[in-house]
Each structure stands twice: as structure tokens, then as C-alpha cells.
Chains A and B, each alone.
Chain A
């Protein structure tokens, strides 16, 4: 392992000491990374207005791109020049610094419209070629988002898959003391814009994003039993969906947003049901006296992956909705649960028990090959980045619930420690333009 990886020291991360800091804040600390990340240069953006440097676009972009260990940005004081347009770019300067890719840009702020406009260029130094020219604008109060959009574009141009810096993470914060509350929170992937979605003195569970990223479905025990709620993030408006006696849990939004697959135990044991949000009605899709739970949809909405102990131990099964056919997908070991499809549908991420320890693993569902990704041992709730590159999961460190992450290629490992509280059940939002 050490041959291919090297421990990277965490870069100092600027912590905003605003009121947000009283909430737990997630931040990424790389614990194991690539030996030779791609070297990039993000030149401080020039500005065509007199306003002070309040928009530190380049530092946010740098932080984004370095967060998962794939890129290493050279320091701005080491740069030989500070170009802001193509004419000012001398490839030789950047070759000397062994830079592979360069990002330059400029912005102007219009106080009148409360708007900032950014133009930027991405260059491939070795090929002496401009890869992309972008022009974007936004309200000046959402300049962080604008920086994340540039990071996403840069990532996509270099790696050929979408960046995930504009995505968000929902998670549950557990009370440390009995009088404290359970919190459902949402945060940008860099830990900023942390906001509280819902609080309760009773447990909250299983957040799941709507495909448009505007709503969350989750489980709340606020009325003394489990119920599924849907909440709009912008307005805070929430409603429970029709509950029945027993368990109401494990909501999973269908890719088209019309259905929610979930677990009900009204028949006396937990089975998978599908809720139609247009018709406000439930339809049962599995029926077995054992435990059926943890449903999740394939990207085309035709299949549902779920966990069942129908064979005697928890294993992962796949249901074809149209004909009700159910096929077992995991055979290695006696505990495989909470499967999630990776983009492409060929692999699933799951929780696998080996020698009594619970790890995040990946399995090819065609040939059955299973690979354990983590060396932590109480892992839960893996959630996959929408570009399929990264898995974040909940685990324990020093008796505390933390979120940790790993790249699917098993090269970079990181943790997302929170300042306060115990965090669990991360749910990665979809990509939304």
C-alpha cells in the first residue's frame, strides 16, 4: 500500500469563524493519497473593478481540486507570471514549474446588479493548447457556487468525467448527550454552507435526495414510531407520506422522481413497497416472511436492489420491477447489505462483513468479484459521488461517529471530521446543472 501512496499532510484550511461554525462542519482531510498527483496552477483571478479581494475564487477552486488528492496546485508565490488572458500565457514558464494544466481568469463585479461575471481559460501546458474558455456570472452572494462551477468544469476537462464540487451532502448528527437533539443537515461538499434541515429529540434516519436535489426524504420518529417525511429544502415545507403500522423506512427516490421505494412492515414483516407520489398510493413489490429492506433504484428505474435475509443471512438481491423476478447478487460471506449501484450499473458498493468486521466493498455484479475498500471496521451507509469516483461512508474513530471517504480506485483515503457531534448516514446529492 505504501509503495503507491504517501501520507499527505492536511493543508491548512481556512475556517470561517462565522455563526456557521457553531454547527458541525465537515472538512476533508486526506489521510492517504496519490504519490504523484497531477500538477496544476490556478492563477489568482484579476479583477476589473476597484472592490477589495473579497471573492477568493482561486483559493476555493484550489481547495476543491486538491480535496480528493488527484491534483496538486503550485503556490501562487512560486508562479513566474500571473496571466489573466491568453496573450499573457507563456507555456515555458509553466513547463519550468512542471505544471500540467493551467487555469487563469478574471472577474468583474457590478455593484448595481449585485452580480459578478467571470471569464476563465484552461490550458494544457505540454500540448500548448487552450482546452476551454468559459464565461459565467452569478449573484455576488453566490460566488462560492460560481467557484465550484469552475472547479467542476476544470475537473471535467482534465479527467473526462463530471466534477462534483457543486454537489452537496446530507447527513444526520446524533446527540452526544441525552438532552440534545438529532439533526438532519446539508452541507456543500467542502463543508461550507452548512444548514440545518430538521431537528428532533427522537431519531432521524435514512436521508435520500430527490433527483432534482430540491427535496429530501427521510425517516423521523418524532411521533413515537417511524414515519417517512418529504421536505423541500428551499421552503422547509415538510409532509409525511401515508404511514401504516410497523416500520416505515428506508426511502429511495426513483430516478424520474415520481416514486419512492421504501420498507413497510404492515403485513407483519418488512417488505419493499413503492409509493406513487402522484397517486398517493403504495404498491407491494416483495413478499417474504424474512427481512426485505434497503431498496435502491437502478439508473433506468427498472430494477431495485435490496437486502434480504431470505437465505438465512443478509444478502443483496435485485428485483426486476416489470416481472417481479428476484435474483440473488452476493454470495461471498454471510453479511452483505445496503447495496448501491455505481454509475454504469456494472458494480455495486455495499457493506460486507469479514471476520466480524464491517467494511465498505465493491462488487462486480456480473462476475461476482468482490473487493474490500476500507480498513476501518464499523462501516455503514456508503454513498457514491454522482460521477462514480468517490464513496463517502460513516464509520467510527476513537469511539466517535465520523464520515470517511475513499476513491473507488482505492488510492486516496480521507476523513471528514466534524467539529462537534457524531455524524452518520451521509447521502450524496445528484448532479444538477
Chain B
């Protein structure tokens, strides 16, 4: 964020219904308020039907392409293990990765035709070493009383990568995008996520 000419590339991946879109909207609020140009692009036409959801999120002084170039991801924020490994090749060698520990079986696994890939965490660690963090978003959110807040737990963990952004800016973004009755839960979820990393 210190280099104004550089565009930062964040790739979010997950399964429809996990709240990846809300997470990318929170990022949008935060980085626009911080004075950056922002572009984000998502394919969500069939997400309601259990398909995968990906969001390309880019910020910098001036952003042209709405899509990140293959291999140019600075940060991968993934809400599901299989949807994390699917995009491993997109991440730069020095890229940073946060993965939610949830497994959601796709049809081929449900039908017993293919195995859910094992050792996803190990594969990531092999290539990205200490730059890989695993977060139990569902577990933490469940403890707070609502599993739906797992996405904001992940956002909280992710916020650690941007120490120059104050907590208050993240909280404001969360409050702007969520209904008032959800504020307390999600503010807690944000801080718990931050602690988890």
C-alpha cells in the first residue's frame, strides 16, 4: 500500500452462499475510503445454485483491468478448501494466503466418483511456507452464536495484512453494509478473526 503506482490484487474464492460477495463489498468500502481506485469483478450468475464464486478485487492509484492477471494474485482469501487449491497457481510466489477450514463437497464427491482432495493445507505450505494461514471461520462464528458471520471472521483475519488501515475503518464498512441488528455479532466476528491470525 505504500507504493502508490502499484495495484494490489486480492482474489476471493468460495461457494455460493458463503458470503464471499459481502466480504468483497467490505474490502471495497475500506479501500475506497482510504482514497484508492477500486475495481472488482465477479461471476455470480449461478452461485445461488451451489456453483463456485470468485471475485477479482484490485486497488491502487489507478486500476484499469477488472480482472487480475493469472499468476499476479498478492492475496488469496478463500472461504473453502477446494476453492482455495483451485486457484493456487494464480498466487505470486511471495503472495499471502488465508483459507477458511471448511469443506463443502461438490457433486462428484457427493456421488462417490471423486475424492475430496487431501493435504490442501500441506500443498499450500509447501509452496508458500509461513505465508499460509488457516482460519476456522465456522468454529469461531458458531462460538459467537451465528455461523453466518464466518465471512466477517475471515475479513478480520485478512485485515492484519493492512496494518495502516485502522480497525475503525473496517468496523465502519461492516456497519455500512449490514443491517443494524447484525452489527454487534459481526464486529465481534471481525475482532475474533483478527485474533485468529
User: Do A and B belong to a common assembly?
Assistant: no
Taking Cβ atoms with an 8 Å cutoff, the residues of B that contact A are: none
Taking Cβ atoms with an 8 Å cutoff, the residues of A that contact B are: none
